[in-house]
Structure 1
Amino acid sequence: MNAKPVSTPKKTGKKGFETEEIVRSYFLGAGFFVVRGVKLRHAGDELTDIDLWLYERSATLARRRIIIDIKDNAQPKAAERLFFVKGLAELIQVEATGIATSDTRRSLRELARKHNVLWIDNADLQRLKSSERLTASSRITDEELNDLISKIDTSRASKNVRDAFSSVKSAVADRFGPSCANTALDGTLYFARMSVGSHPGSLAAQVFTRLTYFCSAIAAAALDFASGDSALRPHQERIVSLTDAIRFGEDPKGTAEKLKWAEAAIRDFAPNGAGLAEVIRNRFNEALRSVPAESLAEITAKMANSDRLFNAARDLEQAAFAINCPGFDNLTVDAKSFMGAVLDFISIDRVAFVQAWTPPPTPPTAGVALETADPSIAPPEVPTDGRLL
């Protein structure tokens, strides 16, 4: 009689997801803006995932992006991940990198220190996992949000919501700044319209409100990063710079040059080219002037003078993932100020947006104010001597 083969448990990846959530909670409590599960894309293809993408603003001119690779399993292949994340950081041009691994070898910590990589080993991970503050979170996880999105997509027999959400997340990887902000503003418009068009108080209204908050959070963080280039300029110059960034994206001068080239080509090769080129130029300039970018640039410049814009990004991200999703009126002052300016910019009626999602009668304290770091765990130093804790 043949013995039955021993079946191996199916790998679900649940342990890794839980570790990613705990590490994310830690960095959120330490004052970072964090996005989890960012897909790096090129020409429509998904190349790799970034487990955690962090943005830090520590002073008026000090801004930093950090990517963290997390592997919490029996065979973490930590050395390979170290080489991988260093190469990825160079490719997408972020300022710092880190590894969170179940590996325990001291030699790898020393190697990480030598190459200026933040190192979180198994002992560090166990301390994070034992923190009640981190494990008893008032947030929903990425997986739970994705489940909510799947329910909405299934009801609509499409994957449009998932794809729009992923597109905004992926923009932080290699286009963080004006281009990322524009992508996020497009996402905010899409999800805010869907929220207003949903039955008030429904699951769809809640999910679309969460996604509206999330996209606005990305836009706030990206504009805060973009404002660093003009932080020391006179106020009016800063507004002009941010207005151009909102209208044109990453390279206003490059866009203008492309338009001049297209105008010259039409003038030289199209019938009645000179007249047609002039009409197109005038129509394009009219369309640009109709974009109310000045108002959004004004409040962005004002909030970016201090850390208010960065705080708005963190508060909106927290609201997007709060177990009890807050309504617009329950947002923090900074989040409401920026969110209101964005709604005006994308021509979404504030009252209609407020009425789309009203939280349950229980006060939505969870998620409106950001959680603070567990005082028993030291704040991160990214990356100085390669150690975290």
Structure 2
Amino acid sequence: MATIKGALLEELVRAYFARQGFFVLRSVPYRFDEEDVTDLDVWFYSRQAASARIRAIVDVKNKRSPKAMERILWVKGIQVALNCDRAIIATTDNNPKVAHFAQSQKIQVLSKGFLERLEKKLSKDNRLTLEEFESTVQQYVAHKQDGDWLRIIGEAKSAVACMGGFPAFNRAMFAFRFFGERAEVRLQHRDIALRCALQAAALACISLDAGLERVVFEDGERRYSSIIDGINYGDDGDNRVLASIQSALAVLTEGLPNGRTVAAQAQDYFDQKIAGIRADIIAEHFSREHNAQHLFSVAKELDEAAHEHILSNTGLSVEARTVLGVFADFVGVKRTVLPMASVKIAIPAKNTAVRAIVPTDDKTDGTLSLENLDADLPISLSAEDEKNDLHVQKPLL
């Protein structure tokens, strides 16, 4: 276990839960009221059913003195603060009392022995690690002066874990629009901007899926209005923001000599600003359950796409491209900026050549050699079944 240090152990834990079918984030800032509190080593989310979601945190520590007992209390407190369903610690501490204490607190433990077996038998994902992703962003030397790209991604990640569904969605959409616009005008750094845009879109999918959890059994009209209100006011169904606005207008009406006129003007201006948000674009598409049910799977797909070593070889499903298109229309980003064209090919069982099926307006085809396609895990990890097909995108121009 001494060969795995800090970030690499976090990446191993991330890969493990990702193989189990969760949407997983590393190094998530925990913020409260715009103040930084701490960092979450690993945070993951899953849609178990139409009305069931799971949120969990993992505290990962690989030190000479991991202080596992102390970390159990720490992660328990974070679990309560974030209202997570599960809390886990991954520790190199071999003390049997650690497991007993963790059980008493209903905390799960990934032990040193388990992590060692995981290291040996879990194949490495063909994706950028968090450190590699951030290093890629930092290749744009002016990224900090140009809005601070890493900060924007960090704030979107934090919102997913720390805020309600719709406030987090609005934060992710801000990031998506920012990077979509940068992809259009920063041509030398378009690849980097597209990666960030895909990551922001993945976070938006998770946020929107979480926001829709409470209205899953409502009729279409109620779901539509919930999405409208959630996006316009950042509410999670409690109408607190709208109530605060109405209270402020009531104060204007009663507290000023010409209060009714001033309040009416304020209401008109506010209505104009709300109309400009175009929340109906999101509501029209995702108020339908057969569209909303794809949010979780699309989030995982976009997250993988953002972390591919070669972005131009990323293939997106029809569902993922549809979601990107809806998001682009919502924030006013050109669809042509995004990686949305794809070519579908069949996946063989072993290392063989396969022939691409290209669109009808393309005169050529070719063969692609795919290696190491049988990525089954040697140990039981409850991994998702591998898909039977793959989409390969045309290289970006």
TM-score by length of 1: 0.84
Give the residue type in structure 2 aligned to 1:167.
E
Output the CA distance in 2 between the equivalents of 1:266 and 1:365: 69
Alignment of 1:51-62 (within 5 A): 51-62=41-52
CA distance in 2, matches of 1:195, 1:266: 44
How many residue pairs get aligned? The number is: 355
Match of residue 244 from structure 2:
258
Amino acid at match of 1:90: V
1:73/1:377 Cα in 2 relative to 1: closer, same or farther (>3 Å)?
farther
Deviations 1:261-320 (A, max 9, x none): 221232344563321210110121122123221221232233566741110111111111
**One-letter amino acid matched to 2:159:** A
For 2:144 and 2:88, the matched residues in 1 are separated by 39
1:295 aligns with 2:285: no
Distance in 1, matches of 2:79 and 2:144, equals 38
Counterpart of 1:198 (choices 171, 186, 193) is 186
Which residue does 1:72 correspond to in 2?
62
1:319 equivalenced with 2:297 (yes/no)? no
Deviation at 1:115, TM superposition (A): 2.3
Residue 358 of structure 2 corresponds to none
Which residue number in structure 2 is paired with residue 335 of structure 1? 320
CA contact (8 A) 2:16 2:122 kept: no
Is the contact between residue 180 and residue 337 of structure 2 (CA under 8 Å) also seen in structure 1? Answer: no
**Counterparts of 1:245 and 1:374, CA distance in 2:** 41
Contact 1:242 / 1:301 at 8 angstroms: preserved in 2?
yes
From the superposition, tell whether residues 61 and 295 of structure 1 become closer, same or farther in structure 2 (CA, over 3 Å).
same
Equivalent position SS for 2:211: helix
Q: Match for 2:159 among 162, 168, 171? A: 171
1:379 maps to 382
For residues 306 and 287 of structure 1, the distance between their equivalents in structure 2, rounded to whole angstroms, comes to 27
Which stretch of structure 1 is more off in the superposition, 240-249 or 30-39? Answer: 240-249
Alignment of 1:153-172 (within 5 A): 153-154=141-142, 157=145, 160-172=148-160
Match of 1:141 among 115, 123, 129: 129
SS of match in other structure, 1:53: strand
In 2, distance between residues paired with 1:68 and 1:284? 42
C-alpha deviations, 1:70-102, integer Å up to 9, x for none? 001211111110010001111121111000111
Distance 2:143 2:44 in 1: 33
- Mean alpha-carbon deviation: is it higher for 280-289 or for 207-216? 280-289
CA distance in 2, matches of 1:128, 1:304: 37
Aligned-pair CA distance for 1:364: 10
Greater fraction helix:
1
* Local SS of the residue matching 2:57: strand
Residue from 109, 120, 126 that aligns with 1:130: 120
What runs of 5+ residues in structure 2 fail to find an aligned partner? Answer: 342-365, 384-397
Code of the aligned partner of 1:318: E
Give the 3-state SS of the residue equivalent to 1:378 in structure 2: coil
Letter of the structure 2 residue corresponding to residue 171 of structure 1: A
Structure ranking higher in strand proportion = 2
The 8 Å contact of residues 68 and 99 in structure 1, kept in 2 or not, is answered as yes
Residue 10 of structure 1 aligns with which residue?
A: none
**Residue type of the partner of 1:311?**
S
Corresponding residue for 1:107?
Answer: 97
* CA shift in 2, pair 1:240/1:348, >3 Å: same
Tell me how far apart the structure 2 counterparts of residues 150 and 273 of structure 1 sit (CA, whole Å): 52
| Counterparts of 1:234 and 1:158, CA distance in 2 | 44
Unaligned runs of 5+ in 1: 1-12, 357-361, 381-389
For 1:14 and 1:152, how far apart are their aligned partners in 2?
A: 29
Instruction: Tell me the distance in 2 between the aligned counterparts of 1:371 and 1:321.
Output: 20
RMSD value over aligned CA atoms? 2.8
The answer for the alignment partner of 1:97 in structure 2 is 87
Task: Say which structure, 1 or 2, has more relative contact order (CA 8 Å, 6+ apart).
Answer: 1
Q: Does residue 237 in structure 1 map to residue 240 in structure 2?
A: no
1:73 alignment partner, SS class: coil
CA separation in 2, counterparts of 1:60 and 1:365? Answer: 38
Q: Secondary structure at the match of 1:280?
A: helix
How far 1:198 sits from its partner (Å)?
A: 1.6
Partner of 2:168 in structure 1?
Answer: 180
Q: What is the identity percentage for the equivalent residue pairs of Structure 1 and Structure 2? A: 27
Deviations 1:18-71 (A, max 9, x none): 011111011111100111101112344321110001101111111011010000
* Structure 1 residues 371 and 81: CA distance shift in structure 2, 3 A: farther
Aligned with 2:295 (options 292, 306, 309): 309
Q: Distance in 1 between matches of 2:369 and 2:182?
A: 26
Within the candidate set 35, 52, 62, 2:25 is matched to 35
Q: Give the distance between the partners of 2:73 and 2:321, measured in 1 at CA.
A: 42
In structure 1, C-alpha distance between the alignment counterparts of 2:192 and 2:115, rounded to whole Å: 32
